[in-house]
Structure 1
Amino acid sequence: MAVVGWVAFGILLLVCAVAVYDVLQRRHSILRTFPVIGHLRFLLEDVGPELRQYIVTGNDEERPFSRDQRRWVYATAKRANANFGFGTDNDLELSANYLIVKPAVFPLPAPAPGDDHLECRKVLGAARGRARAFRPASVVNISGMSFGALSAPAIAALNKGAAIAGCLHNTGEGGVSDHHLQGGDLVFQIGTGYFGCRTPDGRFSLERLVELVGQHPIRALEIKLSQGAKPGLGGVLPAAKVTPEIARIRGVPVGQTCVSPSTHSAFSDVDSLLDTVEEIAAATGLPVGIKSAVGELGFWEDLANRMVSTGRGVDFITIDGGEGGTGAAPLAFSDHVALPFKLGFSRVHAIFAAAGLDERIVFVGSAKLGFPETALLAMAMGCDLVNVGREAMLALGCIQAQRCHTGHCPTGVATQSRWLTRGLDPQDKAARVANYVSGLRHDLLRLAHACAVSHPALVTLDSFEILDGHFGSRPAGEVFATPGAGTAKKWDDRVV
């Protein structure tokens, strides 16, 4: 019995030691928040592929991101081995809508390890003569995710990671907080609630916006018309998440549900939108763009026509797909409202290309584009930049628990709970975000070189085919037909 007692005491001592280590370490959010038992998650993750192979699901069956996709993001963020062995486990011949990149017989030499220098081919704002036009240093940037929807440590890690990687960090519509000021350059998003640039009664304030721009490292302004998660609806921040800090930043009451209207009050049609864009650009000197999911095309046709006829215009257009969005939404909206990115973007780009405006606008793609092959296709379709949202959350440690709307995110990413957020160390996660962005750029460059061009923006749709699941395929240029599809691209110094 004495031996049993000593063994039990030893086990208890070991458990206590592990618990103390877990609480004090800063590399794993799960372990800091759930000491000892959190190790079960990593154990299950290690043996998961073997269990799922025979019992549950395969590596490509989970949604919204498959296990293979998440494993690639996690490994890239940790600078671990991101290669996969024993060939693909996808059934290529029977997979419908499966993307194939067609390598050149004589590719360019592969980029050196760590080479991820990929700046935008256009100068943002130059075509319209904005005073503070600039060339984005990175083709991969962080999408709009507000403080409030995400936690303070998560926002701080994203911004510091953006600073390390040299990319832009979109604030989301929730305003600029101290957590956004960790060294990364910002794109300030203007939503329907005008948080950070509003009057006490919730109207847009140009004076407040100019003041905000003067105080913070804001490089561009994005007017959000809609987003992929819930186009046609405004944002909702539950009362439990409206802390005194968030209320101060947004200019709303503490502890009350914060609702963004479904539409803007500063403008109501294309003409007044363009007036607002030009007024903001003149007052701030910054490039001004719009973000929207895609539904009816009349708006885009009217916008292109009026840009040609009046000389007014936006500097960039961010297209969000209906399959995108980090925010919580009603199921009908998240599943059935707005076109998916590839369809929506190809139709909008075709409108502006037909009007001769495609080289005067910087096009930004958003919605599950945080993987090398999908980002490359987006750039071949006409995107100049890609924004990553949920993929950046995965780099932060998100485990796809899908509890973003509950306030109980176990990794501390999408919650305001002090207990849960304490597990997320901004220093460690910033490095992982930077590693992920750098790794995505590097793989984009590798794919471009495999297609025998020096930059992914020079890849054309001729380099892609779409498998149909019936032992056939279609050229991507036919599937996503746009004016100029399949033609060679060149650097245009008149634009850049």
Structure 2
Amino acid sequence: MEALLQFLGNIPWWGYLLIILVLLIVRDISQKKHTIVHNFPLVGHLRYFIESIGPEFRQYIVANNREELPFNRRQRSWIYASSKKENNFQGFGTDQDMYSAGYNFIKPAMLPYKLPSGHPNIANPYICPSAKVIGEYHKRKNPYLPKSIINISGMSFGSLSAPAIESLNVGANKFGCYHNTGEGGVSAYHKKGADVVVNIGTAYFGVRDDNGNFVMEKLIKLCQDNPAIKMIELKLSQGAKPGKGGVLPASKLTQELADIRHVPMGKDIISPASHSAFSNIREMVDFIEQMADATGLPVGIKSAVGKLEMWEELADIMKKTGKGPDFINIDGGEGGTGAAPPSFADHVSLPFVYAFSSVYRIFQKRDLNDKITFMGAGKLGLPDKAVMAFAMGVDVINVAREAMISIGCIQAQVCHNNRCPTGVATQNKWLQSGIDPTLKSERLYNYMKTMTKEILEICHAAGYEHPCQFMMDDVDVAMGDNNRTQSLRTTYQYQKTPVKFEGFQKLLDNPYLGGKGSH
């Protein structure tokens, strides 16, 4: 033994390295799982390493400012700079091809809107309530007027980490927008002061029994115990994977999550594809009315869009009975923050502009649009996209990935494997530890302020006081095939129903602003 130790002690450091390399080569050649590594020992490992950092490599070195998807570098840089209160301007003009097909042009007025003396936006350029009271038409007990036209879309605790949810809620409270829980239920991190919209999906997390069935008594108690809950959103489907329930991989499931969702530990949590509480449109309307009557809150639906027959049926029932959802949230097929099969994320459901225009026309034909608040989601968290959506008939914008970017997401696109490097979309405690909710909530607050301010500035440039005043003739679309432009009205074959608007001060004085108990 002593001789062996002496021999080993005489081996230089590079000798140990050589021994390790030889052992690795023997191991690589012996295994049959990876052909590349077997045929090219040691060197073959580089292939998997480079593949693992491929998205980041392309993001920072290969792709240009406007090339990446879902969000290109220019878009992300604007969000980052806005959230950090840094310079978010650009110099030397646009670097976009303004003649490319689908390019949007917002039409400015010859003379912009001038804020009159005493206008609320003079003292505070960041406030902009929605122009529609949600739940007023259906005479809900507690109607709700959102304090902001820009709000946080449904992202569940589980899909996102605890400090990320807390950062969003604290920032939302400071800014004055609502925070949608996503279908994972209400957690302690959703109770930091912001208005809350409870999202109820097909698994009824947090309001279910042991068999996954909906329990009304649990929903009533949840709303009674949490006065911050202002609305209920019944999720039929989402843009990233319509017709397929949400997925929380077992690797991301903690005991805390299991308790909140009322699910067992140790296996993937996959929501059913459809609801068990109803099986057709008429039963869905009845279910909505039951929840609204029991809680006193406005109830709406969230859905991706494809076939339109059931939308026609829903509109007919609402026209005939005067019952149905208080709001309709259209989620574009380009949306998605969590895990989804590529075939669904890439091909199932319509993108926002086609989805929203199709549904909006259906309700417009039945004179229902002034009775419903329309919400939109799917890459609308940038000022130009938001203005386009308002011109098409959207009343409220919901942002998800843009909010994630504002609190540090780098678009690593690993939300599905619990290895999010920024700690935003992971349950890994070490990775989460890098998020400081005090700092990150301020970043969200800054992004929301800047987003709202720029939308209002575009409004004023177009001659309007509020985004609800945008009409479809205010935005043109470039038609690349014949080198000309045409309005949204011509492109999508309808004109938006005008929204009743009597001025900012009327909105700020509305007793339903922020819901019951906010004044």
How do 1:280-319 and structure 2 match up within 5 A? 280-319=291-330
Aligned counterpart, 1:31: none
Q: Does 1:89 align with 2:95?
A: yes
Aligned counterpart, 1:63: 69
Q: How far off its partner does 1:489 sit?
A: 4.9
Are the aligned partners of 2:106 and 2:476 in contact in 1 as well (CA < 8 Å)?
yes
Q: Does 1:435 align with 2:439?
A: no
Q: Give the SS at the match of 1:82.
A: coil
Deviations 1:155-190 (A, max 9, x none): 000000110110000000000111111111100000
Match for 2:485 among 461, 465, 473?
473
Q: Which runs of 5+ in 2 are unaligned?
A: 1-55, 116-120, 513-519
Deviations 1:103-126 (A, max 9, x none): 110111376596021101111100
Measure, in 1, the Cα distance between the counterparts of 2:124 and 2:138: 35
Q: How far off its partner does 1:241 sit?
A: 1.1
Q: How far off its partner does 1:469 sit?
A: 2.7
Match for 1:458 among 456, 469, 475?
469
Aligned counterpart, 1:361: 372
Q: Give the SS at the match of 1:359.
A: helix
Aligned counterpart, 1:169: 179
**Bigger mean CA deviation after superposition, 257-266 or 112-121:** 112-121
Aligned counterpart, 2:388: 377
Measure, in 2, the Cα distance between the counterparts of 1:256 and 1:209: 26
Q: Give the SS at the match of 2:391.
A: helix
Are the aligned partners of 2:132 and 2:145 in contact in 1 as well (CA < 8 Å)?
yes
Q: Does 1:101 align with 2:112?
A: no
Aligned counterpart, 1:199: 209
Are the aligned partners of 2:242 and 2:344 in contact in 1 as well (CA < 8 Å)?
yes
Measure, in 2, the Cα distance between the counterparts of 1:423 and 1:324: 26
Measure, in 1, the Cα distance between the counterparts of 2:499 and 2:348: 33
Measure, in 1, the Cα distance between the counterparts of 2:148 and 2:97: 34
Measure, in 2, the Cα distance between the counterparts of 1:476 and 1:74: 30
Q: How far off its partner does 1:57 sit?
A: 2.3
**One-letter code aligned to 1:92:** M
Are the aligned partners of 2:419 and 2:426 in contact in 1 as well (CA < 8 Å)?
yes
Measure, in 1, the Cα distance between the counterparts of 2:253 and 2:340: 18
Q: Does 1:115 align with 2:125?
A: yes
Measure, in 2, the Cα distance between the counterparts of 1:370 and 1:101: 16
Aligned counterpart, 2:168: 158
Aligned counterpart, 1:77: 83
Deviations 1:208-254 (A, max 9, x none): 00010111111000000000010110111111111000000000012
Measure, in 1, the Cα distance between the counterparts of 2:346 and 2:156: 22
Measure, in 2, the Cα distance between the counterparts of 1:415 and 1:252: 19
Q: How far off its partner does 1:481 sit?
A: 2.2
Are the aligned partners of 1:460 and 1:489 in contact in 2 as well (CA < 8 Å)?
no
Equivalenced residue count is 444
Q: Give the SS at the match of 1:291.
A: strand
Are the aligned partners of 1:114 and 1:442 in contact in 2 as well (CA < 8 Å)?
no
Measure, in 1, the Cα distance between the counterparts of 2:66 and 2:477: 18
**One-letter code aligned to 1:414:** A
Q: Give the SS at the match of 1:96.
A: coil
Are the aligned partners of 2:131 and 2:499 in contact in 1 as well (CA < 8 Å)?
no
**One-letter code aligned to 1:148:** G
Aligned counterpart, 2:264: 253
Measure, in 1, the Cα distance between the counterparts of 2:499 and 2:319: 23
Measure, in 2, the Cα distance between the counterparts of 1:318 and 1:212: 23
Aligned counterpart, 1:128: 138
**One-letter code aligned to 1:233:** K
**One-letter code aligned to 1:346:** S
Measure, in 1, the Cα distance between the counterparts of 2:464 and 2:218: 45
Distance 1:300 1:136, change over 3 A: same
**One-letter code aligned to 1:209:** L
Aligned counterpart, 2:357: 346
**One-letter code aligned to 1:159:** N
Aligned counterpart, 2:426: 415
Are the aligned partners of 2:370 and 2:499 in contact in 1 as well (CA < 8 Å)?
no
Q: Which runs of 5+ in 1 are unaligned?
A: 1-44
Are the aligned partners of 1:459 and 1:489 in contact in 2 as well (CA < 8 Å)?
no
Aligned counterpart, 1:17: none
**One-letter code aligned to 1:57:** A
Q: Does 1:146 align with 2:156?
A: yes
Measure, in 1, the Cα distance between the counterparts of 2:436 and 2:491: 44
Deviations 1:251-303 (A, max 9, x none): 00122211100000000111100110000000000000000000100111000
**One-letter code aligned to 1:67:** R
Deviations 1:384-427 (A, max 9, x none): 10000000000010000001001000000000001100001111
**One-letter code aligned to 2:394:** C
Measure, in 1, the Cα distance between the counterparts of 2:241 and 2:140: 32
Aligned counterpart, 1:12: none
